[in-house]
Structure 1
Amino acid sequence: MNNIGSKFKNGLGKAVTYFILLSCFAVLVIYAVQRFGGDYAEQKIQEQLELSGLAPFVHYESVHLDPFTLTPSLENVSFGNEFSPWLRFARISLNSYPINYPDLDVDFWIQESPIDSLSRDTRNLMRAAGIETLLGKGSFTSKIEGNKVSSSFALDIKDIGKLAWASDISILDQNIAMDNLRSDVLASFALGQPEALPIIYGDAIEVRSLKVEYEESGLIAHLVPKSAISSESTENQLNGLKYASQALGLAPANSKEAELIAEALLRFLKQPEKLTLTLSPSSAISLKELALLANEGTLYKDSKMELSTK
C-alpha cells in the first residue's frame, strides 16, 4: 500500500512539473508572438500608411497583437492634426494576419471625445447634430477580385444614428493603386469635397451597385423637430422637397421621380426610422456618367435609383 501511495505521489509530482513547464512554455510562445508578431504588424502598417500618404495624418500610441486570433490593433489613434484631430479612436483592429493588403477587414471604436477635444470642422458637425460628446463604433471591409472591388462600411454614432453602405465597383485603369484610391476617397470626404472623385477617377471607375441605409437615433429629431413638420402644410413640404431633388440633380421638380423622392423623404421625416437609397443601373456606369446625369438633372431615373423607408 505504501508503495502504491509513493508511486502515486511521484506520478502526481511529475504531472504537476510537466504542467508548470508547459505553462511556462505557452507563456513564452504567447510573449514571442505578441512581441515579434506585433513588431512585424507595426512595420507593415507603417509601410501602408506611408505608401498611401496617410502617415502624416494617422498618429497612434502602440500596436497590439492578439496572440490567439492574430489580430493586430492600433491603440489610441488620432486622425488629422495630432493635437486637434478630426477623430480619436480607442482601437482600430485589422482582422487578418499577416495583413492581407489590399483586401481589408477593419473594426474600429471611436473614443469618447468631448466636443472641445476635436478639430473645428468636427466641432461644427457635432454642434449641427446637437451632441457634445462623440462616441461610436464601426467596420469596413473591402475585397478585390480581378478589377472588381466589393466594399461595405458600417458606422454607429451614439445619439446620432447608424449608417451602412455597400458598393460594387469596377476599376478600368490597371495603373490605379488601391492605396491611392482609398486615401483620395478619405481625403475628399474629410475635406467636404466628394465631387472631386468624378474629376479624378471619372473614366477609370464604374459603379455596378450601391446601397446606403440610415437608421435614426437622434440626428433627424434634432435637425427637423416634429414641431417644424407639423407647422407647415404637406403640400408646401412636398414642393420644397421636389425642388431640393432638382437642385441636387436627381430629378426635375415637376417629374414623377421628384414626387416619389419627396413622398419618401416626407414619410421618413414624419416618422424617422430607416431610410434606404439603392442604385442599380442596368449596366455598370462610370463616375463621369453619373456626374453628367446629375448635371442634366436625371440621376434618379437614369441610374435606376430607389429611395425607400421602413
Structure 2
Amino acid sequence: MNRLITKIKDNKVGLLMSFFVLFSLIIIGIYAIKHFGTQYAAEKIQQQLESSGLTPFVHYQGIHFNPFTLTPSLEDVSFGLESAPWLKFARISFNHYPIKYPSLDVDFWIKESSASSLSRDTSRWMRAVGIETLLGKGSFVSEIERNTSSEQFTAASNLVLNIKDVGRVSFSSQINLLDTNLSMTELRTDLLASVALGQPEAIFIIHGDNVEISNLDIRYQDAGMMKYLWPNTPTTQTDKSALLSKLQISSQDLGLAQAYSVESKHIADTVLAFLQSSTSLNLALSPSSPISLKEISLMAGDNNLYQASKMTLSTTP
C-alpha cells in the first residue's frame, strides 16, 4: 500500500513538473515573440518613415507588439511639427501590418489635447467649432489593387472618425493612380506632409494629373458642432431667407456652384433641412467617368464642381 501511495505521489509530482515546464516554455515563447516582434516592427516602421521622408513629421514614444495577433501599435504619436503637431494620438494599431502593406487597416485613438498644444491650423478649427479639447477615435482601411493590364494602382479607402462634441464622419472613396511611377505610399506621404505643413491644397498641384477619383461618399452626423455654429435655427420666413442666402454665397465660395443658381439653392435647402431635423448629411460624387484632381480644381475654380462632377447632397433620418 505504501509503495502504491508513493508511486501515485511521484506521478503527481511528475505531472506537476511537466505542467510547470510547459507553462514556462509558453511564457518564454510569448516573451520571445513579443521581444523580437517589437524589434522587427520598429525596424520596418522606421525604414518606412525614412524612405518616405516623413521622419520630421511623425513622432512616437514607443511600440507595443501583440504576441497573440502578431500586430504592432505605435504609442503616443504626434503628426506635424514636434513643437506644435496638428494632431496627437494615444495609439495607432496596425491590424494587418506588415503582411498586407501597402494596404492598411488601422484603428486609432486621438489623444485628449487642448487647443494650445496643437498647431495654429488645428487650434483655429477647434475654436471655430466651439471645442477647447480634442478627443476621439476612428479607423482607416485602404485596399490596394493592381490592374495587370495597365499596371495602374486602384485604392478603395474607408475612414470612420468620431470626435467628441463634433460628430461622426464616415468617408469612402476609390481613386486611381495614373502614373505607374507613383506609388500609393508616395501619395500618402505627400498628402500627410502637405497637411502637416498646413497646405493640404498642395496635393492638387503636386498630383493633379496623376490621381483620378471614381467615386466619393461622405456622411456626417452631428454631435454638437452644428448647434454651436447655428445656435438658433431660423423659424421665421425672414430668418430662413437670410440663412439660405448666406448658404448660397458659401456654395460659390467653396467652388460648388454660382450663388443663387439652381444648384446653390438645392445645396442651401438641403443644409437647412439638415439643421432643422438633426439628421445625417450625405455628400456623394459619382462622375460618369473618373475625374482627375486637376479637373476637380478647375471645376471648383469655375464654381461648377457640384454639377460638373455629378455631385449630390442629401439628408437621411
Cα shift at 1:295? 2.1
Cα shift at 1:97? 4.1
- Alpha-carbon contact 2:267-2:313 (below 8 Å) kept: yes
Correspondence 1:182 to 2:175: no
Deviates more, 1:37-46 or 1:48-57: 48-57
Instruction: Give deviations 1:28-77, integer Å, cap 9, x for gaps.
Output: 11111111111010000011111221111111111110000111011111
5+ residue gaps, structure 1: none
Secondary structure of the 1:126 match is: helix
Instruction: Give deviations 1:218-249, integer Å, cap 9, x for gaps.
Output: 1111122125x347522222222222222322
The residue that corresponds to 1:211 in the other structure is 217
The residue that corresponds to 1:80 in the other structure is 80
Q: 1:302 aligns with which of 298, 308, 311?
A: 308
Pair 1:81–1:189, CA change in 2 (3 A): closer
The residue that corresponds to 2:293 in the other structure is 287
Correspondence 1:263 to 2:269: yes
Q: How does 1:1-310 map to 2 (within 5 A)?
A: 2-146=2-146, 147-226=153-232, 229-230=234-235, 233-310=239-316
Pair 1:256–1:2, CA change in 2 (3 A): farther
- Alpha-carbon contact 1:161-1:214 (below 8 Å) kept: yes
Q: Distance in 2 between matches of 1:24 and 1:70?
A: 20
Q: Distance in 1 between matches of 2:296 and 2:29?
A: 54
Cα shift at 1:191? 4.1
Deviates more, 1:157-166 or 1:291-300: 291-300
Cα shift at 1:21? 0.6
Cα shift at 1:95? 1.0
Q: Distance in 2 between matches of 1:138 and 1:249?
A: 29
Secondary structure of the 1:54 match is: coil
Q: Distance in 1 between matches of 2:312 and 2:97?
A: 39
Q: Distance in 2 between matches of 1:157 and 1:110?
A: 8
- RMSD over equivalenced CA pairs, Å: 1.9
Deviates more, 1:33-42 or 1:172-181: 172-181
Secondary structure of the 2:36 match is: helix
Q: Distance in 2 between matches of 1:301 and 1:120?
A: 34
Q: Distance in 2 between matches of 1:195 and 1:121?
A: 14
Q: Distance in 2 between matches of 1:52 and 1:44?
A: 12
The amino acid across from 1:259 in the alignment is K
Secondary structure of the 1:179 match is: helix
Q: Distance in 2 between matches of 1:24 and 1:196?
A: 55
Secondary structure of the 2:186 match is: helix
- Alpha-carbon contact 2:97-2:104 (below 8 Å) kept: no
* TM value normalised by structure 1: 0.93
Q: Distance in 2 between matches of 1:246 and 1:115?
A: 30
Secondary structure of the 2:137 match is: strand
Pair 1:25–1:148, CA change in 2 (3 A): same
- Alpha-carbon contact 1:251-1:301 (below 8 Å) kept: yes
Pair 1:155–1:302, CA change in 2 (3 A): same
Q: Distance in 2 between matches of 1:226 and 1:271?
A: 13
- Alpha-carbon contact 1:279-1:304 (below 8 Å) kept: yes
5+ residue gaps, structure 2: 147-152
